[in-house]
Structure 1
Amino acid sequence: MTARSLLPTAISSDHADDFHAETRALDLDVVQMSVLRFPPMRSRRTQELIRRSDPETCQLALNPCGIMGISQLGRDMILRPSELIALDSSHAFDSHIAADNGTGAGVTILQVPRALLPLAETDLREMMVRPLPGRSGVGMLLTQMIGRVLADTSQFRSADGPRVGAVLLELLSALLANELDDRQPAGPAHRLTLLSQAKAFIHQHLGDADLSPGMIAAAHHISTRHLHRLFNDTGATIAGWIRRHRLEQCHRDLIDPRRRTRPIHVIAARWGFTNPAHFSRTFRAAYGMSPSEHRHNAQRSR
């Protein structure tokens, strides 16, 4: 049953004579979720089983019932409730779950194709069998969403499945990317490339009032902390960089003859300033005059 829904593994248990297990499987197109409950047991994925069948997936294990020990790629880890860990189907692993109350055990598995994760193979391998946060940040959002979906699937329509799966995939991608950023600071060339990409993204979305560090970081699959570091290394802040370029666009539009009849607050809103009073103060602080004075001076000069 687990070979069909998850991976072919060799399973053994001291409870073989009275073994009772159950599973719930939910297919969300790009993502598969499985909830498994069983007596304490051991599960091994060997090289022979990998050669026989490898779906090339990443498995995220969470919310174990009991204590789950996992070994893969020379790393060992103990998974406890509210903790997360990722496994790679293309590498052998050995796992065992012992019940912490002397009765049942189990685990929830989120399975996605590795090719859909926006990480290089070497980077993805680095994140396998590493502790991943499930109580804060993106990890908390991911675990909460998984819990809500599994709690009551009747609240969703069949058409919601692929959409929910896409959201879960994005959250898992962001979680792994954030952890990779924190573990492996990028080299100078990579940081410069990321900074250029982030600035280009900001230029494309200057008019979006919701533009924020979180939005920019998510678009590039990096943490907001990493994004702030990229700008801080150049002596700038993200908010300051966005504000300066929005003001420059407003400055140009206010003296453009083609826009001389357009209200100032409309021009400001076009570039992300939704509060006219705040825009006027910010403009005066930057240019020493109000937006209307700047427009008037330009018209008089012409």
Structure 2
Amino acid sequence: MTTIDLRTEIKEFLSSRRARITPERAGLPAYGGNRRVKGLRREEVALLAGVSVDYYVRMERGSLAGASDGVLDSLAAALHLDEAERDHLFHLARRSGTPGGPRRRRAAMTVRPALQQVLDAVTDAPAWICNGRYDVLATNRLARALYLPVLADTRRPANTARFVYLDPETAKTFFVDYDRIVRDVAAKLRMEAGRNPHDEELFALVGELSTRSELFRQRWASQDVQLHRSGRKRLHHPVVGRLDLDVESMELPAEPGLLLTVYTAPAGTATADGLALLASWAAGQERPATGIRAPS
């Protein structure tokens, strides 16, 4: 897999979203007891979206080129799409607007020295920069200590998705909510695929994970998508134990495709004490066990 087939992606996304909506949920009468399709029929989606049946059928067969924002909004409403799904629909439509699709600027594989300086200036909270493929591109000292199991892989850049799916026993021990993490990682990779269907590195990663992980194949086939957002991450760290961290992820406008993520905890909590202990432990390490060179 080196690129996304937009027509297939659109078809599978729309049909999967249609299949989960019952007539009752859509506010439609369900005539008869033996419906031959799971979820809504195509003609029912067309009715709800205010388009002709032929037009909707063409869209579900993979033709979103030329669809107006109004039509896409109506389709999103008819299918009860959430914010991430709506964004994904619009990404697919925009990428299918011209032959071959527009190419996004390729996300950097390294970070500028000034960004590393920003990370190093954050001394009381783990902070790192990654791209939409989950490549870990830069860290501060506390992040290297926090994500010790993820960064133990000598392959660079380290990749959280590989850790989650290809080292599941370690990942299950590290991530308290492993099942949620599994869903989130695949959904965010799918979202990234819609944004940039010509990212060869992304689809090399998807191909690798699909080949080596049945669990990833299942999650990828779900067609679920998710935005990178703030939230809570619960870890069991091998040095300091349980940490319940607040996570803030921010896009970097000057570096399209890169995300800055910072982990914090309220003062006075056990997790704040654990981070302080981790910082003390990290400061005592002459060289991080992860193999990432400490900033000079």
Say yes or no: TM over 0.5: no
- Structure number with the higher strand fraction is 1
Report the TM-score when normalising by structure 1: 0.28
Greater RCO (CA < 8 Å, at least 6 residues apart): 2
Rg comparison, structure with higher value: 1
